[in-house]
Structure 1
Amino acid sequence: MTDAPLILLAAGGTGGHLFPAEALGVVLMQRGYRVRLVTDHRAMKYSGLFSAEMTDVVPSETVRNRTPWALARTAVMLGTGTLVALNLMRRLKPAAVIGFGGYPTLPPLIAASLLRIPTLIHDANAVMGRANRLLSGRVSAIATSLPGVLDRDPQLAGKATTTGTPMRPAILAAAAVPFVSLQPNGPLRLLVVGGSQGARIMADIVPGAIEQLDPALQARLMLTQQVRDEDMARVRAVYDRLKLSCELAPFFSDLPARLAASQLVVSRSGAGTVAELGAIGRPSILVPLPGAIDQDQFANAGVLADAGGAIRIVQSDFTSERLAAEITALAGDPNRLTAMAVAAKSVGRLDAADRLADLVERVADVR
């Protein structure tokens, strides 16, 4: 393996960026390539394919606000990171560098382009992210998860390929688990998640919604909810009072299996979450993160909602009363839940990692 071509995977330090990189890494290693991850310090808390020996941390910074001080700090950190990345590229001599979004991908992708190393970016969102947008003119090729992302930009569309979002092995295993249709008066398996960092809105709204359900439906619920440490006590107090069957935790390491076991998911609509719901095929109520400049989560949720696999609720409309009404309606219509599961699965692509690996081989010219 020491003589095998090296492919560097660059990703921001959140699950939405890291998991597709991990999925591609698995396929590339199966094909005989060496892989390494270039990222920021946040990624070190994620366990998975990339051990510490396979990971290079490059300084980076995200644009957090538009004040002159913040922009100057971001520019300095990204400039420093690019110098570090240039030295890394000269030492490792990769055959290609593949970016998965997030500002930590800017230094390694810019360094690679300066050294004329083949580059490719993958964007999982229905609207291209800001970091990828900045890189799009420099890179050799662009992979998108969804069709039509670059239709309004013919210059970029010419080097774009729709591959889907690469799925890690745990998601592929979960995708093989059939959906269990809700039975009259049977248990309703409800999963509530809020993204890799959790979401306060779920702690604010979901307990109140559960409290408003008919007691007979409360008794049928088997609830799993991601709850931040700072919200745990108040959420647990409500469910204890209701004597609800529930499991609460800040993070679930086995989330793919829990998605597969669920009959309804309430979640944010990050690109990774939407892709996984499609791959596994589970009905969902999606609440896009508000305030984003490009409204990427709103567009992501629209992909599943338009297919009939999800209900999209903007955060201003996401109240306990609205959520209780939606859960009640779905619990009373098992056929609709099953149809939503089928519709969600129609959106998923299980061969995305292989399709992206094929594109990587073409870009790097290493077949």
Structure 2
Amino acid sequence: MKRYPQGPIVIAAGGTGGHLFPGQALAQELRRRGRRIALITDERVQRFDRLFPDADIYPVPAATPSGKGAIGLVRAAPAILAGIARSFGILGRIKPAALIGFGGYPTLPPVAAAILRGVPVCVHEQNAVLGRVNRLVAPYVDAIASTFEAPKFLKARDAGKVVLTGNPVRDAVMAVADRGYQAPADEGHIHLLVFGGSQGARVMSDVVPGALAQLPDVLRRRLSVVQQARAEDIERVRAVYAAAGIAAELSAFFDDMPERLAAAHLVIGRSGASTISELAIVGRPSILVPLPHSLDNDQKANAEKLARSGAAWAIEQKNFTETALAALLTTLLADPAQLAAAARAAKAHGQPHAVRDLADLVERLGRGEFQPDGTPLRATDATGGSGVLKFAIGGA
């Protein structure tokens, strides 16, 4: 294998903010170190290229198999194979030092192409559950950077590759990480932040306003709500808050979300990996509603990690009703000490050096210095690439 230690670092990321934000954080750190960055992503790149302003961006075809059967794999295979072919050519031209994939099917083509080219490869797992693409490529990559010590579905054969780095968060989040938590003062405002991930969540618009309207008058008068909602839901949500006399600021997107997070006394949201990491870095208590029916229940596993430590309260969506939420909020908002304890517990989960540690790992890979568990840098199993290709055409 010919190495190019001074070549660019390739970040393979796409899809949702949960995969893109850690990639953005890593790119920011690597740029501070003077590294060139290339981003290989799927064809939705136009929505996110502002997150990587200094990167060379290469969109490639990708597809997510629909359903669990072979038919979904067969339908996705042409796009995946086209993406592998295009990524193979890109990597040959730019001669990267290393490639890191952040999970999700948009990363499968560039990761598979890097394995076939002999480029040092790392994948990053943000969740408490090893994602399907990361699970697939784990036997063939050099390192698995992880947020959690032992993600579910990690096989014993791959455990020696795991490096506990944590989940990097963006510079804007780190900028507010040192703002200590101040519990709501008696008779003072109570700041609630409500959101449902990078695309918003209708369930938050359906449940939260009605629940807040059921709170006792003494609590309702103190509320100051910031809520992300889908554009088509904003007017009906605003009407509920207005009728209840609750001060609320609504938007489909807040470009200063880290500032809003730091100002919150309590957060109500989903439990994607980026949300969990940002709550921990800033140290804020939360009510978490995992996305139901997500692959492998990764959001449920994330929420349970925080809930077990007292940092959050997890509610499955089937139990997330106006009545249940109103009852929980009535208890929590009347007990500032409990909120403060949850904030401390959340802060204890924070991994403030995650981006540094991940950048160190990727650079070590590029220089040929990383040895997983004392074994050679790259596996000698010549079937690695063909195994990935076998999956890509639906044979795994």
Give the TM-score normalised by structure 1: 0.96
Match of 1:38 among 40, 44, 51: 40
Match of 2:360 among 327, 335, 358: 358
Paired residues, what number? 366
- Cα displacement string for residues 34-59 of structure 1 (whole angstroms, at most 9, x for unaligned residues): 11111112232236441386211111
Q: Take 1:53 and 1:182, find their aligned partners in 2: how far apart are those partners?
A: 42
Match of 1:308 among 304, 307, 310: 310
Range with bigger deviation, 112-121 or 5-14: 5-14
Match of 1:160 among 159, 162, 181: 162
- Cα displacement string for residues 71-108 of structure 1 (whole angstroms, at most 9, x for unaligned residues): 32211110110011011011111111100011110000
Paired residue for 2:235? Answer: 233
Match of 1:215 among 206, 214, 217: 217
For structure 1, the residue ranges without an aligned partner over 5 or more in a row are none
Paired residue for 2:104? Answer: 102
**Aligned partner of 1:139: which letter?**
V
Query: Contact 2:66/2:72 (CA < 8 Å) preserved in 1?
Result: yes
**Aligned partner of 2:198: which letter?**
S
Match of 2:265 among 255, 263, 266: 263
Paired residue for 1:80? Answer: 82
**Aligned partner of 1:280: which letter?**
V
Paired residue for 2:292? Answer: 290
Range with bigger deviation, 341-350 or 36-45: 36-45
- Cα displacement string for residues 280-336 of structure 1 (whole angstroms, at most 9, x for unaligned residues): 100000001111241100100011111111000111111101111111111110011
SS at match of 1:136: helix
Shift of 1:347: 0.3
Structure 2 CA distance for partners of 1:52 and 1:42, relative to 1, 3 Å: farther
Q: Take 1:281 and 1:43, find their aligned partners in 2: how far apart are those partners?
A: 31
Query: Contact 1:22/1:48 (CA < 8 Å) preserved in 2?
Result: no
Query: Contact 1:99/1:105 (CA < 8 Å) preserved in 2?
Result: yes
1:1-367, aligned counterparts within 5 Å?
4-46=6-48, 48-51=50-53, 54-66=56-68, 70-149=72-151, 153-365=155-367
Query: Contact 1:307/1:347 (CA < 8 Å) preserved in 2?
Result: no
Q: Take 2:130 and 2:85, find their aligned partners in 1: how far apart are those partners?
A: 26
Structure 2 CA distance for partners of 1:200 and 1:150, relative to 1, 3 Å: closer
Query: Contact 2:192/2:223 (CA < 8 Å) preserved in 1?
Result: yes
Q: Take 2:9 and 2:345, find their aligned partners in 1: how far apart are those partners?
A: 35
Q: Percent identity?
A: 47
Q: Take 1:305 and 1:262, find their aligned partners in 2: how far apart are those partners?
A: 18
Query: Contact 1:187/1:220 (CA < 8 Å) preserved in 2?
Result: yes
Q: Take 1:47 and 1:180, find their aligned partners in 2: how far apart are those partners?
A: 36
SS at match of 1:125: coil
**Aligned partner of 2:325: which letter?**
L
Range with bigger deviation, 177-186 or 124-133: 177-186
Q: Take 1:337 and 1:162, find their aligned partners in 2: how far apart are those partners?
A: 29
Structure 2 CA distance for partners of 1:93 and 1:47, relative to 1, 3 Å: closer
Q: After TM superposition, what 4+ stretches of structure 1 lie above 6 angstroms from structure 2?
A: none
- Cα displacement string for residues 330-366 of structure 1 (whole angstroms, at most 9, x for unaligned residues): 1110011011000000001010001111111221116
Query: Contact 1:206/1:323 (CA < 8 Å) preserved in 2?
Result: yes
Structure 2 CA distance for partners of 1:349 and 1:52, relative to 1, 3 Å: closer
**Aligned partner of 2:221: which letter?**
A
Shift of 1:166: 0.8
**Aligned partner of 1:205: which letter?**
V
Q: Take 1:44 and 1:195, find their aligned partners in 2: how far apart are those partners?
A: 19
Q: Take 2:53 and 2:350, find their aligned partners in 1: how far apart are those partners?
A: 29
**Aligned partner of 1:116: which letter?**
G
Query: Contact 1:4/1:32 (CA < 8 Å) preserved in 2?
Result: no
Shift of 1:251: 1.2
SS at match of 1:248: strand
Query: Contact 2:149/2:164 (CA < 8 Å) preserved in 1?
Result: yes
For structure 2, the residue ranges without an aligned partner over 5 or more in a row are 370-396
Query: Contact 2:42/2:61 (CA < 8 Å) preserved in 1?
Result: yes
Query: Contact 1:13/1:41 (CA < 8 Å) preserved in 2?
Result: no
Range with bigger deviation, 63-72 or 252-261: 63-72
Query: Contact 2:6/2:97 (CA < 8 Å) preserved in 1?
Result: no
SS at match of 1:113: helix
Query: Contact 2:36/2:55 (CA < 8 Å) preserved in 1?
Result: no
